[in-house]
Amino acid sequence: MSEQNFPVALKSTVDKIGYDLAQAESPAVEFVDLDNVVNTTALLKTDDTALIWSMGLLVPTPRDPLYSVSFHIGARTVNDPANYDIMLLVG
């Protein structure tokens, strides 16, 4: 795998794992990459519960580990006055 393809492969892997985990939740949770403008805009127009993520940093390092990666992850619940749903999502 070339060095240029690694960020794309990493984002695709995280997106697939997050999507699978979100589908396993009951009730269903949307899992959206913040960089995906179409899906993020559509999500903001709904009342769906969601986990929203983005890759904040991906920097090659000279030693092991070969990359330094950080992610930003947020949760959104609409009908959750006591914050029970959001605590289950992020806890």
Average confidence (pLDDT) per 10 residues, the chain, 91 residues: 75 86 75 88 87 88 82 82 75 65
Number of structural domains the chain divides into: 1
* pLDDT at res. 88: 77
Residue 73 lies in a domain: yes
Q: Is residue 46, in this structure, part of any structural domain at all? A: yes
Domain assignment present for residue 1? The answer is no
Indicate whether 35 belongs to any domain.
Answer: yes
Predicted confidence at residue 1, as pLDDT, reads: 54
Q: Which of 75, 67, 63, 76 is nearest to 11 (CA)?
A: 67
- In terms of pTM, does the model score above 0.75? no
In a domain, 26, yes or no: yes
The tally of CA atoms less than 13 A away on the side-chain side of residue 78 is 10
